[in-house]
Structure 1
Amino acid sequence: MVMTYKNIEQNENKNLTRARMYVNHVFETVKRRNPNESEFHQAVKEILDSLVPVFEKHPQYMENGILERIVEPERMIIFRVPWVDDQGKVRVNRGFRVQFNSAIGPYKGGLRFHPSVNASIIKFLGFEQIFKNSLTGQPIGGAKGGSDFDPKGKSDQEIMRFAQSFMTELYKYIGPDTDVPAGDIGVGTREIGYLFGQYKRIRGGFEAGVLTGKGLEYGGSLTRKEATGYGTVYFVEEMLKSKGLSFEGSTVVVSGSGNVAIYAIEKAQQLGAKVVACSDSDGYIYDPNGIDLETVKKLKEVERKRISEYVKEHPHAEYHEGCSGIWNVPCDIALPCATQNEINEEAALILVKNGVKAIGEGANMPSTLEAIDVFLNNKILFAPAKAANAGGVAVSALEMAQNSMRYAWSFEEVDAKLKEIMTNIYKNSVKAAEEYGHPDNLVVGANIAGFLKVANAMMAEGII
């Protein structure tokens, strides 16, 4: 029988319907099995919706149950973390580690210490990590962990005692070739140091590759603390270049004032941008003359003070209570680098109204699904987190490589490798978006590019 255009079109529609039904079925199963886990549902839906054209083109992924397997963690550990505060009172927190997927390498993902941490947030972060890690081109699987412990206001001794108790349970499940945690919100070099020391004490050996984000004195990598912020800006720089734009002369707003935000500000300023606002969980500062980064570094990295203190040294600047108001500040480029869902639909509409040209997600899932729709519908350049935020874990993988070789690269060498990785992530995302019928949609492109590598590895390894 001769296949007419109409026959072909009907066949394609049938495949599309099947692919859509498959994706919807898997998502409904996720919601049923994981009730009341809204962050996890959001992360899964955003990725699954992007993959419909992949299943349309490659039905073998459906036939081999790739989605059913990829949305289910290979292992999830929940444990009690008892510790003693400075007053001698026993405290108890809850610890988590979700080892989501090891198809392309050992589990890899940060530890977050923050009161908001729960199973839903750890699972959303771990699920995102699968695709983010795949995009880096490095041989690392997806994981995430943490605790509802809040380091804010705690003494160094309290943080040490908590970290030691946390590692006393976690050490059973990690190792250089099994699972390699790193830092995240609330877990910096100080916390990693305490965790590594306890791991070393228990194991009785120096396994540098078991944690990344370590201090330079004991196996850490140069450029690691800068990596996520720098990587976000490198990715956005490539995205801007494709449309004849640049950071040079642009006004930029960066949410947050932690590690990611500080080094996003630094790299944006190096590229000629004027960064006029940043924030913490209490509020935000607006400096029309441009943020003085050395003051922010001193407040946040040395003195561990609130961002409101900035105006004491720069009285011409303004401090505003409430961190969400930062998106009212007009800008050309917005870099959300604080936390998940910090830009909702209302904030997105304000950014668009005020003339924003590009969004670069430095945090994990900082825009709601509704906000992303606003940006895409208004043709705003949008760099999704799993691509733009991948610089940190990319350099973590480079730290693992250096530990394996017992060798250390220079700052310039690591920075050059980071820029190359972020450029490749951008190119691969663009290519996947075009190949699967969604040109200029980096959300779809990044999801598909990250998925294909993992799916093919899962196919090759059999049903496990």
Structure 2
Amino acid sequence: MSTKESTLKPDEFTVANNYANFLNHITKLRNPHEVEFLQAVREVVNSLVPVLAHHPQYMKSCILERLVEPEKIISFRVSWVDDEGDVQINRGYRVQFNSALGPYKGGLRFHTTVNESIIKFLGFEQTFKNSLTGQPIGGGKGGSDFDPKGKTDLEIMRFCQSFMTELYNHIGPDTDVPAGDIGVNAREIGYMFGQYKKLRGAFEAGVLTGKGLEYGGSLARTEATGYGLVYFVREMLQDKGIGFEDKTVIVSGSGNVSIYAMEKAAEFGAKVVACSDSNGCIYDENGIDLNTVKELKESGDERISEYITKYPNAQYLDDCSNIWSIPCDIALPCATQNEIDEATAKTLVDNGVQAVGEGANMPSTQEAINLFLDNDIHFAPAKAANAGGVAVSSLEMAQNGSKLMWTFEEVDEKLKDIMKNIYQNSMQAASDYGSPGNLVAGANIAGFIKIADAMSAQGII
């Protein structure tokens, strides 16, 4: 039992637990159809009971009630014209969740599944993730139900320009700094930055991150989330006296996060045998040829199934969820939210998985997480393990502010330090509040306390 936990009386835990249950209930009543957001809130709130019991002032000043309500939600119509001359209509969103630690910071997601619930869940998670990085950034998220797949460059440009025309009044280097997410890469960032620059009549490099190197981007930004994930998991494994060497790894997805997680895991001595896209997955028992995957994804139109035309001994499995049936030592879910449910987690456990590191945002359901923890699987939660992307985005902001550009090696070293600190702070918080070794609880607690103290210092606003 930790020092903090041992000083508490049973009734203090009861009060805090009742408060957490009440807060979950009220949040559900206010957001009855926002499944993803409610899942994210419940996971965080329930892990904070020992913190609330030890610090009742957080309950008295309604820190959590304020924290689960975004400071601002912006939604807007995005009208644009396709190549056939037809008018298309999409919805755009920006959720500015919490600015206690700094300007809102978080990506833009362009995908058909985007709705207010998903953007709120992402913004809520982002607030804690950004806190964990130790950087002076608050939490936000945004996006649209527009899907860049199958669109021409001109159509994507017109959409991005229209999207930014609606958004630009709400963002700025010291206000809100968007970045990329699913469906938003350097191309989309470039089109949006160009439109912002035209509308503002000024070159404000720090308003967007993930920019091209020619106009204020940062080296290592493309690799940051995938590399950061592996750096974090390596810290977790080293604490247990093991590493990536000679381990079999599977990685869901085949975008930037997945590709660079595979690259770094292989660099550390692992054999990556499987990856996926939205249609299916490939399994190559000899180890995935990463250059081939990069070529397929960089072409823009090729699916991962084309891998087997070059490597006929590899297998292609329809349905991307089949990747989790492949035995492995380390699983890195890097595709999308809730891709691992309880049944999938059981398959991984039965097949001997030793560690799971979340590279996507909330890729495991709460039931899956519980199963991993109950079976002593080393588990690295998303808000800690995939914070590398936003960490380097913040480093890009710092370079823009100082009008300097750091080398790849300088940025990479800073990223390693940030991920190491996130791991150590999460482990320390878990130990301090009665859950030693539980990185889920530790990441939530470490992220929350920093935000809560900043909110308390700034008054009721």
Normalised by the length of structure 2, the TM-score is 0.98
Equivalent-residue separation in structure 2 for 1:291 and 1:304 (angstroms): 20
Find 1:372's aligned residue among 355, 369, 372: 369
Letter in 2 for 1:284: C
Letter in 2 for 1:453: K
2:311 aligned partner: 314
Q: Is 1:155 aligned to residue 152 of structure 2?
A: yes
- Unaligned ranges ≥5, structure 2: none
Change in CA separation of 1:204 and 1:377 when aligned onto 2, cut-off 3 Å: same
Letter in 1 for 2:36: E
Find 1:344's aligned residue among 341, 345, 348: 341
Q: Is 1:96 aligned to residue 100 of structure 2?
A: no
Find 1:209's aligned residue among 193, 206, 230: 206
SS in 1 for 2:58: helix
1:285 aligned partner: 282
Letter in 1 for 2:9: E
2:410 aligned partner: 413
Q: Is 1:218 aligned to residue 215 of structure 2?
A: yes
> How do 1:422-461 and structure 2 match up within 5 A?
422-461=419-458
Q: Is 1:167 aligned to residue 164 of structure 2?
A: yes
Mapped contact 2:172–2:206 kept (Cα < 8 A)? yes
Equivalent-residue separation in structure 1 for 2:123 and 2:460 (angstroms): 21
1:145 aligned partner: 142
Letter in 1 for 2:105: K
2:224 aligned partner: 227
Find 2:25's aligned residue among 18, 23, 28: 28
* Greater displacement, 303-312 / 442-451: 303-312
Q: Is 1:127 aligned to residue 124 of structure 2?
A: yes
- Unaligned ranges ≥5, structure 1: 1-7
Change in CA separation of 1:442 and 1:9 when aligned onto 2, cut-off 3 Å: closer
1:362 aligned partner: 359
Find 1:40's aligned residue among 37, 56, 80: 37
Equivalent-residue separation in structure 1 for 2:357 and 2:7 (angstroms): 39
SS in 1 for 2:235: helix
CA deviation after TM superposition for structure 1 residue 10, in Å: 11
C-alpha distance after superposition, 1:301-356 (max 9, x if no partner): 23441101111111111111100010000000000000000000000000000000
Equivalent-residue separation in structure 2 for 1:28 and 1:10 (angstroms): 29
Change in CA separation of 1:324 and 1:209 when aligned onto 2, cut-off 3 Å: same
CA deviation after TM superposition for structure 1 residue 12, in Å: 1.1
SS in 1 for 2:282: strand
Equivalent-residue separation in structure 2 for 1:68 and 1:157 (angstroms): 44
> How do 1:392-403 and structure 2 match up within 5 A?
392-403=389-400
**Paired residues, what number?**
457
SS in 1 for 2:340: coil
Change in CA separation of 1:181 and 1:139 when aligned onto 2, cut-off 3 Å: same
Mapped contact 2:8–2:54 kept (Cα < 8 A)? no
Equivalent-residue separation in structure 2 for 1:172 and 1:299 (angstroms): 38
Fraction of identical pairs, as percent: 71
Equivalent-residue separation in structure 2 for 1:110 and 1:307 (angstroms): 25
Equivalent-residue separation in structure 2 for 1:21 and 1:158 (angstroms): 52
Letter in 2 for 1:263: Y
> How do 1:189-338 and structure 2 match up within 5 A?
189-338=186-335
Q: Which aligned segments of 4 or more residues in structure 1 are displaced greater than 6 angstroms?
A: 8-11
C-alpha distance after superposition, 1:218-249 (max 9, x if no partner): 00000000000000000000000000110010
CA deviation after TM superposition for structure 1 residue 25, in Å: 1.1
Mapped contact 2:345–2:371 kept (Cα < 8 A)? yes
Equivalent-residue separation in structure 2 for 1:12 and 1:391 (angstroms): 39
2:46 aligned partner: 49
C-alpha distance after superposition, 1:358-416 (max 9, x if no partner): 00000000000000010000000000000001000000000000000000000000000
Letter in 2 for 1:382: F
